Structure 1
Amino acid sequence: MLLQVCAPSWDVPAPVFLPWKTAEFLPPLTKQRKKKQVVFTTATTFIFPLDYGGSAIPSDHGPPIGLAKTHTRQECQYLDSLAPKKSRVLKFDHVERMVLLQQEASYSRKDVAMFCFESFAVQKSRLETNQADDDDDGSGDEARDEDDAEEPPVKRRRRSP
């Protein structure tokens, strides 16, 4: 016995030619990005007087120096007349910072000495914290005692100036 399978015939229309879908009308597959450029014409510089900067503790000993809360003057410069130049951040050693605070910021020797003690206390606290973090990282495989987990953190009082 033979089975004969009849496939239905589908009437498919002939493809339609659409000229706007040809290669010359389609956008390229990879677009070249336009280079964007920003040009500044003026620079405004705010001039701040030197002051005690408690937010930035130096890595060596001595008081931190910073900027006052408000600026004393402002300068505007046209940038098209200036040639670009490279510069580095100026760093002062601890003796220079003490002299600057006394002469430029008009602090007394006693005030500068207090700033030095405060800076030293912050550096010491940071060193102790880093050492404690290093000790915690090294003992990851060892089991902790229950007493260690229940110890409250040590509270430190801050001296008022």
Structure 2
Amino acid sequence: MELLQTAAMTTAAERLKQDADDASPTHVEALFEVTPPRAPSSRVVTFTTATTYVFNVAYGGSALPKKSGPPIGMADIHIDEFHEDLRDELYQLQTSDVEHKRRRRVRKFDHLERIDMLKRAKYHVRDIATFCMDAIDIRKSRQESLHQFRREVYQADVADDEDTPRDDEGHKADDTEDTMMNAMHELKRLRPPMFEPPCHSLQP
């Protein structure tokens, strides 16, 4: 009787241990029950309203023309604003057609157009003349700075060229090595390919 009870207890203990092993995440069969992680869903950002601000023309010191004329820009405060609902299907169709037809180009104004725009913005003629003179001075200063930079680069190249050691023929050592390497590459390029006789000519 005691042997039967001991055997029953041993069988129950082994069954509990087996169940615990099966429930363990390190068990081989448990690996097949793990669900794969979900792929991250793509997020889409949509805008519902577009706001357009309108500014008057004003003197803009940072927008200096490359050639001539006073710089123009936007006023500090906007004078009007428009709100458009982007959820309207008709608006989306209209804007999509306009975007396809309209070419993205920046409008460039010449000297007289800039002066006329400043006049319509209620700037005095003397102020406009001052803007033009200031623009000329800034262009001259930028050009002189560019020339000075180029002179410094040229002088640095000349000083580096004078300090470089030369061989007996007056060539720089670096130039000699580069010339030899270029000559070797040129010979390899111009050399005809090796002639390979056909296999049947090697047979007696």
The interval holding the TM-score normalised by the smaller chain is 0.5 to 0.7
- How big is the shift at 1:75? 0.9
Q: CA RMSD in A?
A: 2.5
| Partner deviation per Cα, 1:24-68 (whole Å, 9 max, x = no partner) | 63647xx86643321112111111111111121111211011011
| Structure (1 or 2) with the greater helix fraction | 2
Task: From the CA coordinates, give the structure whose radius of gyration is larger.
Answer: 2
> What aligned pairs does 1:1-161 form with structure 2 within 5 A after superposition?
17-22=27-32, 25=34, 27=36, 34-80=41-87, 81-82=91-92, 83-84=95-96, 85=99, 86=102, 87-103=104-120, 105-141=121-157, 142=159
Identity %: 36
Closer, same or farther: CA 114–25 of 1 in aligned 2, 3 Å: same
RCO (CA 8 Å, sep 6+): is it higher in 1 or 2? Answer: 1
**Unaligned 5+ residue runs, structure 2?**
1-25, 161-204
Tell me the residue number matched to 1:13.
none
Q: How far apart, in 2, do the equivalents of 1:97 and 1:66 lie?
A: 10
**With structure 2 as the length reference, what TM-score do the two structures score?**
0.54
Q: How far apart, in 2, do the equivalents of 1:137 and 1:36 lie?
A: 51
**With structure 1 as the length reference, what TM-score do the two structures score?**
0.67
The 3-state SS of whatever aligns with 2:116 is: helix
The one-letter amino acid paired with 1:19 is E
Count of residues paired in the alignment: 126
**Unaligned 5+ residue runs, structure 1?**
1-15, 144-161
